Each structure stands twice: as structure tokens, then as C-alpha cells.
Structure 1
Amino acid sequence: MSMTISRLQAMIGGRWRDGSGPEYATEYPHDQRVVSHLRAATEADVDEAVQAAEQARQRPSWAGLRHHERASLLYRVANGIRDRAEELAQLQRLDNGKPIQECRALVASAAGTFQFFGAAAETWEETITPARGDYLTMSLHEPLGVVGAITPWNSPIASEAQKLAPALAAGCAVVLKPAEITPRCAIELARICEQAGIPAGIVSVLPGRGAVVGDALVRHPLVKRIAFTGGTRVGLGIQRLAAEKLMPTSLELGGKSPTIVMPDADLDHAVAGVLYGIFSSSGQACIAGSRAFVHESIYDAFKSRLLEGVRRLRVGDPALESTQVGPLVSLFHRETVERYVMEGVADGGRLLAGGARPEGAPYARGSYYLPTVIEGVSNEARLCREEIFGPVLALLPWSDEEDLVARCNDNPYGLAAGVWTRDFRSAWRLGARLQTGTVWVNTYKVFSISTPFSGVKMSGYGQEKGRLGILQYTNQKSLYWGLNETPIAWAD
């Protein structure tokens, strides 16, 4: 794809135009070249978009659609994404530096998400509940109204689809705030929605700072729900503001996920899974398996194979088909990761791999950091308690299962976990005891749009994905139909 600098516009209330805020640029993490210019949205832009969304959602062109008619629009969006799949993958690569193979997978996921929720809308059924008197009872679901969606920079197009698709399937209007530094895919999704025939005003995209655009979205009185993926600190702030409005939210926040390698594990599978779980996406994933607990009887063998695998990882230009590990999203973020590693070493950790920037001309201008493995740190160390969001793995031996479970759960987060074992009883027992929203057994970091995803503890709450994910964007209403032939006796 050409590195021509793009001029981007926002979609605000059915109109393509510049935001009203200051101009800023986005950079390609591989070499820090500017790839786009745009103007940030402001609080006034948020109000315009929300007011337009509130009006658009009540018009017959949207509110009057039957479920199968709304579904057909989502199918068109899915097809529109597929028609532009390679272009969208390249745009995401330029935004956040993910290897192109990962970007293609995320674009395919986004298309599948719209198709799935189109099917969920088309097969939507309401419920006639069991009667307990001389009346007929039923439960209906109605769209909440205007929804605010706030997405992160690490997997933009997939995160945006997971919020847009169910909200649209439910009949809501959506004001989408993408991460400031990765606005391209959200803007193109709005264009695809427009071309698919979704009415003007139903989807707006407002790039800009979270402290401005995100805050205004959460506070706006016409916004009836916030769907947020991002950092825990920001999520807590959103929840405080939402409480003032009694507004429902879904918060997918941080993680510090453990992976457990049992003594009977297939080491080839376990090593490959641990490598993929932490070093794909350069560790910039909320579900990254950043703490590997390995049984002491196989610890040395596992470590030897793991380090050999790390040495074989291909770190480099995300445009190359062979690249496995790309740059971190920014120079600033790389400095944050470096500080965590230096502190881990100061806490007694021993660097087994990485812990430095790669050398050589291909890496000179980019925000690259080598896949890093550290052993000898305590599970209580900051390196093992806080989300680093980088390619850093803590290797921890274990011998007693009770202590293992306690250490895995002794963390503020509870988003995901992995278990590697040949014994289904061990997997079932550990899976039930781990305090987390997702447990992978003999695999890691695989997802299905048909399976709910959520976190516990400081990893957030509320569900995304799954057929019932559409209900997150509805109000439930009960109707009672009197069948009595005579007037209510009390009134006699």
C-alpha cells in the first residue's frame, strides 16, 4: 500500500466533515512516518452527533425496520468489509503496526461479527411467558437508544465491529469514538455502513482525545449505554460517571493472565501456545498470557524449548508476510515497557531473552522491542501484578496445586487463563477454580463470536459476543393481556 499521507474526516451526524478541534497526525510505528492528518472532534461535535442519532433512530427508516430488514443491512456491511478486506488490513497496519497477517485475521473477524449479529437479528424471538392467572404474559426487548462505543488501539476493527454490530442489530444508533492514534478503520466502517444503506445519523465516528470526546459521550444525557474496551483506570472513570445517570455499561479492561503448564503437558503444544499467547501482537493484548506457571518437574525442559522458540521468532517490518512480531504502538509505549523490565530486573529477575531494543537499520526508527522472558521474580512483584501490554513473559515454577491456584488468583485482574495438560480432570478442576472470564485448555488466544466474552474483578464486567450479546443493547419490557370475562372483582 502507498505511504501517501491521507487527509481523514469524521462522520458526524450523517455528514463527512472535519472535527472542530485541533489538527493532529497519526504515525506508522514501523518508522514513525506521518500517515494521516485529521482534526479532532470536540464536545460540540459529540452533541451534534448524539442529537442527530437520537432523531435518526426514531425515524421510520430505522425504527420501522423489521428484524430481517435490519439483518439484511448488517449482511451488506459484512460483505462490504470482505470486498475491501486487503485495503482495511493495510490501513490497520499503518495505524498500529500489527503484522499484516494479524491485520487480515482481524478484518475477517469484523466481517464475521456483522454476519453473526445479522443472523441474530433475523432469528430474534420474543417470549410468551407461562401464565399464572387469567392473563397472557409476554417479554419484549426494545432498543436502548443512542449508544456510545469507545475502542482501543490494539485491535481496532475487531473491537469496533463487536460494538457496532450488536447495537445496530438491536435497533440502536451508535456514536463511535476510536482510539486517538488509530482512527482509520472506524472511519472506513462508517463509510461501509453508509454504502450498505444504514440511514444517515445512525453511525457517527468521532476521532480525538478520550478526555474530550469520550468524556462528553459518557456525560451526554441522550446516551443510554457505553461499551468500552481499554485500560482499567479509564474504565473506572467511565463507571463513576455512568453511575450518576444509572446508565448501563460494558467494560472490557486489563488483564494479567496466567498460563499453567501441568507436568503431563505436551511440551510442543504448550511451548507454541505460550509463545503465541504472549508474543503475538507484540504482547499488546488484554488477554496476553503474561505469567507462565510451569511445574518444577518439567521447568528446565520447558524453559529450554521456550527460549529456542523465542530465538526463532521473526521480529520486523509488519508489512512483510513472514513477520511474527511487529513494533510496539509508539515510542512512548516502548519506554513504559522498558521501565517495567528494568524494575523486574531490579527486583531480582533474571533476563533469559530480550530486554532490549533490536539492533540494526531496519529497526532504527521504529518502536521495536525484543520478546522478553524473565525468571526469578516473585508473583508479588509489580512485573507480575500490573498489565505491561508488551512482549514480556514472567516464568514461574510451581509444585503444589493449592499454592498454584492461589498465586494465579492473587491478582487484581481476571480476564483469561490457559491450562496445558493431557488430563481432562485436571483441566476441568483448574478451569473451575481460576477466577477469570475465559479459560483456554490446550490452546490459547482463540475466539469465537458465538461465545460470550467477559472479565471479572478489575478486568471489567458485562458481556460481548454470543447470540445474547444483542440483548445488552435493549430494554426488556413485560406486557400483560387480560383474558378475564368479568371486571376485576376488587372494584365491585
Structure 2
Amino acid sequence: MRVADIVAHSAHFIGGEWVTSSREPIDVFNPASGEIVGHVQNGGKAEAELAIAAASEARHAWAAMTASERAGYLHRWAALIRAHQEEIAHLLTREQGKPLAESREEAEGAAMFIEWYAEEGKRAYGEMIPALARNKRIFVVPQPVGVAALITPWNYPATMVARKAAPALAAGCTIVLKPASQTPLTAVALIALAAEAGFPSGVVNLVTGKSSEIGAAFMRHPRVRKVSFTGSTEVGKLLIRQSADEVTRLSLELGGNAPFIVFPDADLDAAVAAAVGNKFENCGQMCNGINVMYVHEDVLEAFSAQVTERVSTLKVGFGWEAGVQLGPVIDHRAVEFIDALVREAVRDGAKVRIGGGALTKTPYQNGSFYAPTVLTDVTPEMRIAQEEVFGPVATIIGFKTEDEVLERANASEFGLAAYLFTRDVRRVFEVSERLEVGMVGVNSASLSVPQAPFGGIKQSGYGREGGHHGLEEFMEMKYISLTL
């Protein structure tokens, strides 16, 4: 099977069959060139309800399987993704824009998540609780929630499918997947490989199309017992309101504003490397990506100069070209948003060390490119320090004391991730514990691994992906009281 052939028809996958819609298909564009790279079906409420019905019909038989039986399907799926890694990577780069090296890593990451949950599903242990009477026995048994609807974003089209689908399937849930309309082709390919892996009819379903219609169908359908969403806080709040009528369980990974804190005793070279690596990965379009770099005044100028030097060496271009490290942002609307934040900051006194504008000359004229940018002399009051930039802009702010920087970092309405660099063991623990976020990276700026719980607090959402916590998101605890 060739992935290119799979994606050519790009239909919905419902009840084990490829299904088309009557509406005109949705064009999928390459953000680097502006060219159409494919089409997907423009589904809505009707297709979503068909997929929910198929998933509901399949859920009892899938849940009745042993965890080892379900693991067999997941392992086959992961193996097929690895076998088609290069094709998936090229597809991902064409529709999302990231360099091929990053796309290859993402395809491998998707396989890793699926493989890990294939095994973690075998460790969904229950409990036996001591009773108060001799003739009583108390059991707690984990069971799958049922039909799970998964709504994935455009910034990581492969790993986000795996991070949601793998724990749901391992837990014994059947799924309906709705990928982002900007990057649906990778999801189509992954679901086609799941079909080749032999998942029973109705266990894995895919619907592409209108987000508002499909999302509303998920939230209003009584058979959908779990919705997992990654996206904006605005949409997350809408889903919370819509979940009330059916009391639908939610996992929400929403906006972020991750601080990166460099204390004066830090290994500066390591901090600079980590800062640039995280900030400019995926062209800055990463939910747990650094938004503001807080650097102690004793090392502020040295850090800023080194970051600027590293950023000056980044190669911007088309993701399929050799050596490219930075591709486009997702679309022109994103370019306009990023540029508005930068211009406003400069107007208010920020200094552009490098970059600072859209790339519009040849060969970038048809794409949505923004120059890798470093801003210093930024103040916490500026909008660029308060809003999630989601682009290739490093914003640097100086600080004097530990209490000062913690107050600034915790003032954000978001609480997804934070990073700190220090050699002080006391500071490692106290600052990590005082930061109001769901995840902290200490002397590292990498957090997403299958075995650890990924997620935030405050307006960054709730629920976790990864680790046994991610499996539990798709399970209910049933208490059984037995009288002998």
C-alpha cells in the first residue's frame, strides 16, 4: 500500500468503509507554496452521526477483548506507520510546512505513542479494598467510557492523532476522529493504515469537514461519552458549555504562555541551545513552546547575544529541501497576527535584534513565511508577552529576583508549561513547585514523551495525555460490592 494512493480519495472512514459526502470537497494547501496538495470530504452532522453510530455498535465487542488482544492491533498499526514513515513525513511536510527532519521525527513519535499504549493498556489495574464485614468483598474495576470523539489540531497532525487514539483504543473505547481542516491528509493516511492493521469494523472512524457541525454533533450525541480536544481556549470554553446537556467527559489542552526562566547560575550554553531549539521547533507553533524568555539581568546581555547569533544561522525555506530548519507558519492570517504583535511591541519600545517581519520576496512570495525574530527590551505589559505568539519570535525580558520572575510567570491566565535553568538544587524544587503550570522542564526544554502526563491548569485546560494518566482519561471506575 502506498500512502499517496490512500490519500488520493480522502474519504471519511465510517464502519470499516470509505464514505463520500455530497458537498464540494475541501482543498488542502501547502503553506510554503500556496499550492493545493489534496482534498478531503466536507462532512458535517450527518457523517458525524453515522460515525458515532458505527462506533457505538462496535464498542461492546471491542471492550470485551482482552488488553493483549487490543494490543495486537495497536502494535500492527505502529509497525505500519514505521514502514511508511518516509511517505508520511513527505505528506506531513507538504500540508503543514515543517522541515522533513521534523516530520520524520513526528511520524516516529506517533508510532512510539501507539506502541507504548499497546503495552500500558495491559496495566489498567483495578483494586480490591478491605471491607468492614467478614462476608463482604469490595472491588474497583476500570472500564472503558464508551465512544470517544477526538478533535486534533493542525500543528502536529500525526502525533496528536496517536496521543489521543492510542490510549482510547487501549482502554477499550471506540473512536471517531475529526482532524483539523488545514492538515487532514496525514490523519487520513494514519487511519488508512489502522484499517490495514485490521481493526474491527466501527472501532476506528474518521470524519473530515466542518468543525462547527461535527463538533456540535459530538457534544449533543448521547452515545459520545468522552471528547478529547486540543486547540484554542475560546473553542475549549465552548465545548465546556456544550458538554453540560449530556454531562460529557472532556479532556482539553488549550492555550499556553510558557515562560523560560534563566537564573544567573545556569549553564548558559545549555540554556541558549534549549531556548532556540524549543522556540523555533515547528516554526514556533507548539502548544508547550516558549512564549517569553525571562533572563536574570546578570546574564541578560550574554544570553540575548548568543540567542541572536544562533537564530541568525537558522535556514528558512521549503521543508522538503536539504538543510532547512524553519518552514512557514500555517497561513497568512497567522503571519498577520504575529507581525501585529511584533510591530506593537517595537512601537512600545522593544528592540529587534534580528528578523522582525514577514518574508515576501522570492522564493517566499507564495507562502506564509515569517523571519526568525529576536526581541529584547520587552516589558511584561506588552501584548506580545501576554498572548500566545505561536510563531518564530523569541521575546526576552530581564528580571532581578526569584520572587519577581515567579510573580510575572504566574500572572498569566494560562498554565500549560514552564522551563527553568539553574544549578541550585533548592531553586530546582522550590521554583518548580511555585510555578502555576501543569508541566515544568528543569535544565531542559523537552516535555512530550509517551510515559509522562502532558497537560495544563487554569485556562490551559484539564486532563492529561501520556502516562497511565492518559489511559485513565478514557476509563470509568466501577465499584462492586459482593456479599458472600
Instruction: Compute the TM-score of the two structures, normalised by the length of structure 1.
Output: 0.95
Q: Distance in 1 between matches of 2:242 and 2:279?
A: 33
Q: Distance in 1 between matches of 2:434 and 2:21?
A: 49
Displacement after TM superposition at 1:123 (Å): 3.3
Query: For 1:245, what is the secondary structure of its paired residue?
Result: coil
CA contact (8 A) 2:153 2:179 kept: yes
CA contact (8 A) 1:254 1:413 kept: yes
Q: Distance in 2 between matches of 1:30 and 1:182?
A: 13
Fraction of identical pairs, as percent: 36
Query: For 2:176, what is the secondary structure of its paired residue?
Result: strand
Displacement after TM superposition at 1:311 (Å): 0.6
Specify which of 8, 11, 14 is matched with residue 13 of structure 2: 11
Q: In angstroms, what is the RMSD of aligned CA positions? A: 1.7
Alignment of 1:106-121 (within 5 A): 106-121=106-121
Displacement after TM superposition at 1:209 (Å): 2.4
Displacement after TM superposition at 1:184 (Å): 1.2
Displacement after TM superposition at 1:22 (Å): 3.1
Displacement after TM superposition at 1:120 (Å): 1.1
Alignment of 1:120-135 (within 5 A): 120-134=120-134, 135=136
Query: For 1:362, what is the secondary structure of its paired residue?
Result: coil
Q: Distance in 2 between matches of 1:89 and 1:396?
A: 36
Q: Distance in 1 between matches of 2:114 and 2:376?
A: 42
- Aligned position for 1:487: none
- Aligned position for 1:149: 150
- Aligned position for 2:176: 175
1:429 is aligned to 2:425: no
Q: Distance in 2 between matches of 1:40 and 1:315?
A: 33
Q: Distance in 2 between matches of 1:121 and 1:168?
A: 9
Q: Distance in 1 between matches of 2:454 and 2:396?
A: 26
Q: Distance in 1 between matches of 2:45 and 2:340?
A: 35
Displacement after TM superposition at 1:447 (Å): 2.2
Alignment of 1:325-344 (within 5 A): 325-344=326-345
1:320 is aligned to 2:321: yes
| 1:195-246: CA deviation from partner (whole Å, max 9, x where unpaired) | 1121111111111121121222122221111000011100110111012221
Displacement after TM superposition at 1:47 (Å): 0.7
Match of 1:267, as an amino acid? L
1:65/1:174 CA distance change after superposition, 3 Å: same
1:351/1:2 CA distance change after superposition, 3 Å: farther
Q: Distance in 2 between matches of 1:37 and 1:156?
A: 16
Displacement after TM superposition at 1:332 (Å): 2.0
Displacement after TM superposition at 1:325 (Å): 0.9
Match of 1:417, as an amino acid? A
CA contact (8 A) 1:3 1:35 kept: no
1:157/1:456 CA distance change after superposition, 3 Å: same
Q: Distance in 1 between matches of 2:103 and 2:25?
A: 27
1:278 is aligned to 2:279: yes
Query: For 1:265, what is the secondary structure of its paired residue?
Result: coil
Q: Distance in 2 between matches of 1:379 and 1:324?
A: 29
Displacement after TM superposition at 1:95 (Å): 1.3
Displacement after TM superposition at 1:344 (Å): 1.6
- Aligned position for 1:233: 234
Displacement after TM superposition at 1:376 (Å): 2.3
- Aligned position for 1:204: 205
Q: Distance in 1 between matches of 2:185 and 2:432?
A: 38
CA contact (8 A) 2:3 2:88 kept: no
Alignment of 1:72-471 (within 5 A): 72-134=72-134, 135-358=136-359, 360-471=361-472
324-333 or 352-361: bigger deviation = 352-361
Match of 1:279, as an amino acid? F
379-388 or 410-419: bigger deviation = 379-388
1:344/1:20 CA distance change after superposition, 3 Å: farther
Match of 1:70, as an amino acid? R
Displacement after TM superposition at 1:359 (Å): 5.7
Q: Distance in 2 between matches of 1:185 and 1:359?
A: 28
| 1:365-416: CA deviation from partner (whole Å, max 9, x where unpaired) | 1111011122223212211111121111211000011111100111111111
CA contact (8 A) 1:354 1:370 kept: yes
1:2/1:365 CA distance change after superposition, 3 Å: farther
Q: Distance in 2 between matches of 1:20 and 1:443?
A: 49
Query: For 2:34, what is the secondary structure of its paired residue?
Result: coil
Q: Distance in 1 between matches of 2:24 and 2:146?
A: 30
- Aligned position for 2:50: 48
Match of 1:10, as an amino acid? H
1:3/1:312 CA distance change after superposition, 3 Å: farther
CA contact (8 A) 2:179 2:208 kept: yes
| 1:73-96: CA deviation from partner (whole Å, max 9, x where unpaired) | 111111111111111111111111
CA contact (8 A) 2:218 2:224 kept: yes
